[in-house]
Amino acid sequence: MVAAEKSGIPVINAGDGGHQHPTQTLTDLLTIRSMKNTLSNFTIGLCGDLKFGRTVHSLINALVRYEGIRFIFISPQELRVPDYITDMLKEKNIPYEEVIRLENVMPQLDFLYMTRVQKERFFNEEDYIRLKDFYILDKDKLALAKEDMLVLHPLPRVNEISVEVDDDPRAAYFKQAQYGVYVRMALILTLLEITV
Amino acid sequence: MLNVGKIEEGFVLDHIKAGKSLSLYEHLQLDKQDCTVAIIKNARSNKMGKKDILKVECDIDTMDLDVLAFLDHNITVNVIKNGEIVAKKELVLPKQIKNVIKCHNPRCITSIEQGLPHIFVLADEKKEVYRCKYCEEKYSEAAKN
């Protein structure tokens, strides 16, 4: 925002600290719509670092525009979604719940959005080490999910999704990364007013 | 008892919490105004026990007083013309406040780029919630200067 205020040319927000990440959200929306043909009426679980996870904040902001969205926030107490997000959800009467254990809510989810617990988001190493392995998606946890649930992740991952999950048909994160290329191409072309 | 005379044209800020008048003087940037200002500290008050008063001899329309609604609800703004009180100005919460409070989020851009103004935006008028324009951190009483 500061750059945009000072600049005479458009500035694309490619992620601002622990706040927002709008281009990733465009990618996420394209992925969801392409793979499910809709952006309405589903339950999405957002898991991991929801406090500083900027992709999560932007995605929630975008999804509240669509009908029938229910959010389940899965995180340790220390990394809960910020209050400006929950205040907004309450104001708009959008259903959400906050839980600590991923396994308990897995069967309800149509989408599971995983995020990494980033070292640089912590004030001290001790907290990071204590929390980084708290939410790891592996085959056992995925076995509790619906057959057609999709796993999303903004990537890169650290270890929050076991590599054994990569071959599961529900793992959509590599496809999502591919869509990310198209979205950013489209965005740059739009800003440059280039028609292809 | 110290007596400060009437002003002819301007405004009087009454019922200021005792000891806060100098801070209001700074927030209203009265040091930049070429006008007469009387700062009365610890005046006797039936309602408050002690209070501060600011008397400012300048055109009220040249001043943005809305920040007072954020700083202290109880302040009364008396508009003075020809030495008499002609109106009491209604204060409304400003949509935006600049450099009055600081964002205390260590990850906020204003904590890193030292020269940036600290701007807060009115997010909820009913609950009087202000949030940092850049990181959306909620203002808390502890952050007030």
For residue A83, which residues of chain B lie inside 8 Å, CB to CB? Answer: 138
Token pair 């309602």 in the structure block, residue: B47
Say yes or no for a CB contact (<8 Å) between B135 and A87.
no
Q: How far apart (Å, rounded) are the C-alpha atoms in residues A187 and B69? A: 43
Q: Which of A2, A52, A82 lies at the smallest CB-CB distance from B109?
A: A2
Instruction: Give me the pLDDT at residue A196, please.
Output: 82
Chain A residues touching residue B113 (CB < 8 angstroms): 2
Nearest to residue A18, comparing CAs of B136, B138, B129? B136
Residue B5 neighbours by CB under 8 Å, 6+ apart: none
pLDDT over threshold 90, residue B96: yes
Q: CA nearest B107 in A: which residue?
A: A17
Cis peptide, bond prior to residue A156, ω within 30 of zero: yes
Shortest CA distance from A6: residue in chain B: B116
For residue A80, the one-letter residue type is R
Nearest to A152 by CA among A178, A186, A127, A121: A178
pLDDT of residue A125: 80
- Per CB-CB distance under 8 Å, the chain A contacts of B136 are 19, 82, 84
DSSP letter assigned to residue B91: P
What is the count of residue pairs from A and B with beta carbons less than 8 Å apart? Answer: 25
Check CB contact under 8 Å for B135 and A2: no
Spell out which residues of chain A touch residue B107, defining contact as CB-CB under 8 Å.
Answer: 17-18, 52
Burial class (CB in 10 A: 0-12, 13-18, 19+), A21: buried
A3-17, A124-138, A169-183, B43-57: which has the highest mean pLDDT? A169-183
Q: What percent of chain B has pLDDT over 90?
A: 54
* Closest of A40, A50, A52 to residue A72, by C-alpha: A50
Q: Is the pLDDT of residue B3 over 90?
A: no
Are B131 and A2 a contacting pair at CB < 8 A?
A: no
Q: Is the pLDDT of residue A118 over 80?
A: no
C-alpha span between A120 and A169 (Å, rounded): 32
Fold held by B10-88 = Alpha-Beta Plaits (3.30.70)
| pLDDT, position A122 | 66
CB hemisphere CA count around A135 (13 angstroms):
27
| The predicted structure's pLDDT at residue B143 | 47
CATH superfamily of A21-185: Aspartate/ornithine carbamoyltransferase (3.40.50.1370)
The CA-CA-CA angle for residues B15, B20, B26, to 5°, reads: 115
Residues A2-32 have pLDDT tens digits of 888 888 888 999 998 888 999 999 999 999 9
pLDDT confidence of residue B142: 47
Pairing, β A111-114 against β A150-152: parallel
Interchain CB distance below 8 Å, A84 and B133? no
The answer to whether A62 and A183 are in contact (CB under 8 A) is: no
Q: How far off is chain B from A92, nearest CA to CA, in Å?
A: 13
Give the pLDDT score at B126: 86
A170 neighbors A145 (Cβ within 8 angstroms):
yes
| Position A188 confidence tier, pLDDT thresholds 50, 70, 90 | very high
Which range has the top average pLDDT, A60-74, B3-17, B64-78? Answer: A60-74
Q: Indicate which of B107, B112, B125, B128 best probes the interface with A, i.e. most A CBs within 10 Å of its own CB.
A: B107
> Nearest by CB to B131, which of A1, A17, A84?
A84
> How far apart are alpha carbons B71 and B64 in whole angstroms?
13
Distance from CA of B114 to the nearest CA of A (A): 12
Q: In this structure, which amino acid lies at residue B17?
A: K
Q: How far is CA B47 from the centre of its chain?
A: 20
Residues in chain A closer than 8 A to B134 (CB atoms): 1-2, 19
pLDDT band for position B33 (cuts 50, 70, 90): confident
pLDDT band at A123 (very low <50, low <70, confident <90, very high): low
Which of the listed CATH numbers 3.20.20.70, 3.40.605.10, 2.60.120.10, 2.30.30.20 matches domain B96-143?
2.30.30.20
pLDDT over 70 (residue A133): no
Tens digits of residue pLDDT in A86-108: 999 999 999 999 998 899 999 99
pLDDT for residue B131 is more than 70? yes
Domain spans of chain A? 21-185
Residue at A121: amino acid letter:
R
Question: pLDDT value at position B1?
Answer: 66
Chain A partners within 8 Å of B128 (Cβ): none
Q: Domains of chain B: which residue ranges? A: 10-88, 96-143
Residues 6+ apart with CB under 8 A from B72: B16, B17, B20, B24
Query: Mean pLDDT, to the nearest integer, of A122-137?
Result: 75
pLDDT in tens, A164-180: 999 999 999 999 999 99
What residues in B contact A16, CB-CB < 8 Å? 109
Q: Tens digits of per-residue pLDDT, A46-84? A: 999 999 899 999 999 999 999 999 999 999 888 899 998
CA distance B137 to B21: 28
Mutate: best of A2, A81, A124, partner B, most B CBs <10 A: A2
Beta bridge partners of A71: A44, A96
Residue A154's nearest CA partner among A129, A175, A134, A133 is A175
Q: What is the mean pLDDT of residues A169-194?
A: 96
User: For chain B, first and last CA: distance in Å?
Assistant: 31
B96-143: same fold as B10-88?
no
A146-170: per-residue pLDDT in tens?
999 999 999 999 889 999 999 999 9
The residue in chain B having the minimum alpha-carbon distance to the alpha carbon of residue A120 is: B107
